[in-house]
Chains A and B, each alone.
Chain A
């Protein structure tokens, strides 16, 4: 076998991503994801149960505040199912964005001592958060079935078969923005403090606690549909209940925006990571 030849030089191109090398390190991708999953539960009493409790309690709070007190409509879907169908998607997006955004800074000790393709870290964030997402999804399905069996006036659509696509789409939106934030935080540290705040506002710009159909003001409507997370949330809700729905042109817009953010994010991250350890 011919020896592997590596050339080390100042790499000024944005577009030079070594995909083959990332493939070589796939075992590391797996172990990093596994580490992040197991470490969360070590030394906790309830372990993975926390991931069941969190979306349930959030949905209960939303039901009480937005459903009972503020009386925001849900388009005929039971409040609990409505909020949870949105939260499942939102939480996955939120966690992928958060952990890929902090991937460089949080692992700076590791990165300054050993080389591996840096993109492995945000990629592993997609994987480890997927495990948490599955727990979230499982609890949602249980609650959904309970309401469905008791007859609440909704039924699943054939679109449900496209659920994996919606999940991948959600992960890619989170990863795309996460890569951008990770790249920018290496230079502007204050973005770390702004991020939770930005995500909070972002949640309100996503139809999680209100149906997209309830927004009629044209400017707000544009804003909501320009937000790629909205499409995933609305699609998820429609697939399970048949209520609401997203037009094809909106889906294509969302996919287009996401592809742009993700690809540019990959390049920007790849560019910044080269000399990241010099500036920590």
Chain B
């Protein structure tokens, strides 16, 4: 029976955290504080002066959520997206009752299962079997429910031969598989899931995703928090995008994900590329600059990558750049290893210029480039959205006539008509 009432109603929820030192954190401080107050002196000033970690005035309020309201209907699968520290995990913590909101309220109709971590409550000394029961009851299952799901759990995890071995002897893969297996067999009406897919190998992740979409199709209501936009798009019907503790946008999944990527990935970074810390790789070679410019003389786009190698020449070098539309979708992929004439060994410092042909036209709009520097097949430097550029409208084409699905760049062309 599907009722028309929303199963989750969140009304104006706000959550405040106290930043900085929590005042009077030791009993001694508390006594000092009371004593100073008793003698009619200003305790904050007096204690602050001596460098005690108790000055009351030091605490600052931080609003992780500033009045969030939304509704979720029965059977809906909702993705919660947003950058780090946007407040999406706080929402999940409040809905799963780990912490209370500072103000506002939420109403939930149905049993809630929350999965904020895989393997919550697993104890390394306990055996696989004992941990299934331990973990299951912690997640809110009853003993008889675990009894009846036990075989399915073991089957899904594939660790039947190690059921009576303490989990501390498990490989990390086995551990995660067993933990996810328990969680996957929870049967609440509402599931709250946080980024749990970020564990395990690719094959297991796929299995988990499969299990989750099976669960989703089974009419379960799900709120899913993830950074993995592909997973969000394949699982969710609609999305809530949260930024700075407020809802930025709610709506159909594709639309919200598109706007989110446009705003976050395709946003020019305020920092110089060389100062950015949001990069992966062993840093043996570092990119110091990436620029995309339009060469009016050539009437074409050029890219320039500056790099620095920490240890002499950069051997077996490979530079890859992907150019993406801000609305999502790869336009093209540039790879130095595809270019036969480009040298494989590069000096320790330099700038590589890539001239794109004037025969290629980009649609007007915003673009962002991901950059990777590789040496001896090892990732040295990988930066997502290393450069953002904007393509203005060109006079020769009427781009508004081109449906977005039919292409993101065009080969320069001239059309002629001959009268017969």
Contacts and interface: CB of A to CB of B under 8 A. Distances in A.
B263 interface: no
Nearest to B13: A8
A268 interface: no
A165 to B, nearest CB: 30
B108 interface: yes
Contact of B100 (A8, A35, A113, A114): A8
A11 interface: yes
Contacts of A251: none
Interface of B: 7, 17-18, 22, 25-28, 30, 93-112, 114, 116-117, 120-121, 123, 125-126, 130, 133-134, 137-143, 166, 189
Contacts of B22: 187, 279
B27 A114 contact: no
B125 A114 contact: no
A20 interface: no
A60 interface: no
A188 B27 CA distance: 5
21 contacts: A4-B111, A5-B107, A8-B106, A10-B100, A10-B103, A27-B141, A27-B142, A27-B143, A28-B138, A32-B134, A35-B126, A38-B126, A38-B130, A42-B125, A114-B139, A116-B138, A188-B27, A190-B28, A275-B100, A278-B17, A278-B18
Interface of A: 3-11, 25, 27-28, 30-32, 35, 38-39, 42-43, 110-116, 187-191, 194, 274-275, 277-279
Contacts of A111: 98
Nearest to B140: A116
Contacts of A10: 100-104
Contacts of A11: 100
A114 B194 CA distance: 12
A275 B93 CA distance: 11
A189 B108 contact: no
Contacts of A5: 107-109
Contacts of A112: 98
Contacts of B121: 110, 114
Nearest to B188: A4
Given A30-B143, A113-B116, A189-B26, 18 more contacts: A3-B110, A6-B108, A8-B106, A10-B101, A27-B143, A28-B137, A39-B123, A39-B125, A39-B126, A42-B125, A110-B138, A113-B98, A113-B117, A114-B121, A115-B96, A116-B140, A274-B99, A275-B100
Contact of B97 (A4, A115, A189, A190): A115
A187 B142 CA distance: 34
A8 B110 contact: no
B69 to A, nearest CB: 13
A278 B104 contact: no
Contacts of A6: 97, 107-108, 112
Given A35-B130, A115-B98, A9 B105 contact: yes
Contacts of A110: 120-121, 138
B306 to A, nearest CB: 44
Nearest to A4: B111
Contacts of B110: 3-4
A187 B27 CA distance: 9
A6 B189 CA distance: 13
Nearest to A184: B27
A8 B126 contact: no
B101 A8 contact: yes
Nearest to B95: A8
A5 B6 CA distance: 12
Contacts of B134: 31-32, 35
A200 to B, nearest CB: 18
A237 B320 CA distance: 82
A267 B104 CA distance: 23
A113 B122 CA distance: 12
A115 B113 CA distance: 9
Residue in A9, A110, A116, A188 with the greatest tally of chain B CB atoms within 10 Å = A9
B114 A114 contact: yes
B137 A278 contact: no
A9 B10 CA distance: 10
